[in-house]
Amino acid sequence: MRDQAESLRMKMQQSKSVGKSIAVVSGKGGVGKSNFTTNFAITLVNCGKKVIIVDMDIGMGNIHILLGKGTRSSLKDYLQGDVTLEQVIYEGTNDLHYISGGTGLAGLLDWSELMFDRLLTAFENLQASYDYILFDMGAGATNWSLDLLVAVEDIIVVSTTEPTSITDAYSMMKYIHYKDREKNFYLLCNRVLTSEEGTDTLNRLKKTMFRFLSKDVFVLGSLPEDKLVRQAVKKQVPFSILYPNAQITKMLKKITFRYMQGNISEVVIGNSSNKFISKLKSIFSKGSD
């Protein structure tokens, strides 16, 4: 193992507590993943948690747009060594913090060893400062994003009731499961027309995972198709803030509480807690052999 990775491991062992790492994914685009991530994060903040969103859709990020905020620097700039970590952390709404993925970058970054070292350092610092780190992943999967998904503690999978969305969500979970059979999956069905079709979709995914992979997954629930969401996006204000009494906001609160109750140990104390950084280092070390 590289000397720098060993040094980072020793630093992490000195940490008293680390925040929980969560990736929000979807098998395909257009399911409302980033919108969910933003409003889920705000709800966690309203529960008294320190939360940061890291927009991992590098070059196509839109978290800052949903928050109605601008950015001078992005995660891309930090990874390339152009700015410090502090310069890419912005305050959104209601004390929510975020890191933009950046825009206007064609194609994926070529991940050098220096970039990965900077990524590890950033995540180490973020875990020491926040209760929850939400990674808003780009739709689909790439080699480097799958490595990150294997490293995080929990994965929230967002699907709709469309057959293609369901199939892609299952394929994503299957691939990650084969990489890490202990991974925690949480299912959310978005943009449902009725609660029944949402329940049916979630049960189908849950049963399929258990039948073919012998893997049990956790069902968070469903969020309805709501014109208020579209209005909130146009106004660049999260719907949970703009419409606090709307039915979708109330349902999101229930889903957030359900998630928190399913993860009693929200901030783990001790050296054994930081599996996220350890997995990232292990993955990269194997890839560079």
Instruction: Give the C-alpha distances (Å, rounded to integers) separating 142 from 11, 106, 111, 246.
Output: 29, 15, 12, 36
Is the pLDDT assigned to residue 59 strictly greater than 80?
Answer: no
pLDDT of residue 146: 75
Whether 83 contacts 43, CB under 8 Å: no
- List the single range of 70-74, 138-142, 238-242, 245-249 with lowest mean pLDDT: 138-142
Interatomic CA distance for residues 28 and 30, integer angstroms: 7
Report, in angstroms and rounded to the nearest whole number, the Rg of the chain calculated over CA atoms: 18
pLDDT of residue 30: 86
Q: What does the mean pLDDT of the chain come to?
A: 84
Is the pLDDT assigned to residue 51 strictly greater than 50?
Answer: yes
195-203, long-range: CB < 8 A, 24+ apart: 195/222, 195/224, 197/161, 198/161, 198/222, 198/223, 198/224, 200/161, 201/159, 201/160, 201/161, 201/166
Go through the chain and tell me how many residues it has: 289
The closest alpha carbon to 135, from 120, 125, 145, 121, belongs to 145
pLDDT band at 280 (very low <50, low <70, confident <90, very high): low
Q: Mean pLDDT across the stretch 100-126?
A: 75
Between 288 and 258, the more confident residue is: 258
- CA 162 to chain CA centroid, Å, is 22
Contacts of 161 (CB under 8 A, 6+ apart): 189, 191, 192, 193, 197, 198, 200, 201
Instruction: Using DSSP, state whether 198 is helix, strand or coil.
Output: helix
Q: Mean pLDDT across the stretch 46-66?
A: 89
Between 38 and 94, the more confident residue is: 38
Instruction: Give the C-alpha distances (Å, rounded to integers) separating 198 from 35, 40, 67, 80, 155.
Output: 18, 18, 27, 42, 19
DSSP state of 273: G
pLDDT band at 15 (very low <50, low <70, confident <90, very high): very low
Instruction: Using DSSP, state whether 145 is helix, strand or coil.
Output: helix
Instruction: Give the C-alpha distances (Å, rounded to integers) separating 132 from 6, 50, 199.
Output: 25, 7, 27
CB count in 10 Å sphere of residue 112: 12
Burial of 9 (0-12, 13-18, 19+ CB in 10 A): middle
Between 163 and 280, the more confident residue is: 163
- CA 259 to chain CA centroid, Å, is 14
